[in-house]
């Protein structure tokens, strides 16, 4: 069973606030990903990492930033939340030599 955790599961926050969505995995996977999911749309890749100190932007333009200081931890930060950031955010990881990604349960973010 995959061990990848996202906190919080649900978050309602006011416009302009800074927030950090947490993602941790205990599988020692080197590759980690953040996707944004909206109803009826593809999962959009917003950030990914190949390992410690490696971060890249994905296909979807995002105002968020990420860091990868430890293998197991890949937090996503929004410096100033806006209503357009309202979405579900999914974190995933994949190990070297592995083929499929393992997903956390997601964080549903609402910015009011």
Partner 1 sequence: AQSVTQLDSQVPVFEEAPVELRCNYSSSVSVYLFWYVQYPNQGLQLLLKYLSGSTLVESINGFEAEFNKSQTSFHLRKPSVHISDTAEYFCAVSDRGGSYIPTFGRGTSLIVHP
For 23, 62, 84, 100, 102, the CA distances from 16, given in Å and listed in that order, are 22, 16, 12, 36, 32
Beta-ladder partners of 107: 89
Q: How far is the CB of 65 from partner 1 (least distance, A)?
A: 19
User: What is the tally of helices (H) and strands (E) in the chain?
Assistant: 0, 11
Q: Please, which of residues 3-32 interact with partner 1 by CB under 8 A?
A: 4, 6, 9, 31
Q: With respect to partner 1, which residue has the nearer C-beta, 1 or 14?
A: 1
Number of residues that bind partner 1 (CB under 8 A): 25
Q: Which of 53, 61, 84, 99 binds partner 1 (CB under 8 A)?
A: 99
Q: How far is the CB of 12 from partner 1 (least distance, A)?
A: 15
Phi then psi dihedrals of residue 110, to 5 deg = -125, 125
In contact, 94 and 101? CB cutoff 8 Å: yes
Asked if residue 90 binds partner 1 (CB under 8 A), the reply is: yes
Asked if residue 41 binds partner 1 (CB under 8 A), the reply is: yes
Asked if residue 81 binds partner 1 (CB under 8 A), the reply is: no
């Amino acid at each position: 069973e995959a061990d990848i955790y996202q906190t919080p599961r649900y978050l309602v926050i006011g416009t302009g606030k800074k927030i950090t969505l947490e993602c941790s995995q205990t599988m020692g996977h080197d590759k980690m990903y953040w996707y944004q999911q909206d109803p009826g749309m593809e999962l959009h890749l917003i950030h990914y990492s190949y390992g410690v100190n490696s971060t890249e932007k994905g296909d979807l333009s995002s105002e968020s930033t990420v860091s990868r200081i430890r293998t197991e931890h890949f937090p996503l930060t929004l410096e100033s939340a806006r209503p357009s950031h309202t979405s579900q955010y999914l974190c995933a990881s994949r190990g070297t030599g592995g083929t499929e990604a393992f997903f956390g349960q997601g964080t549903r973010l609402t910015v009011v």
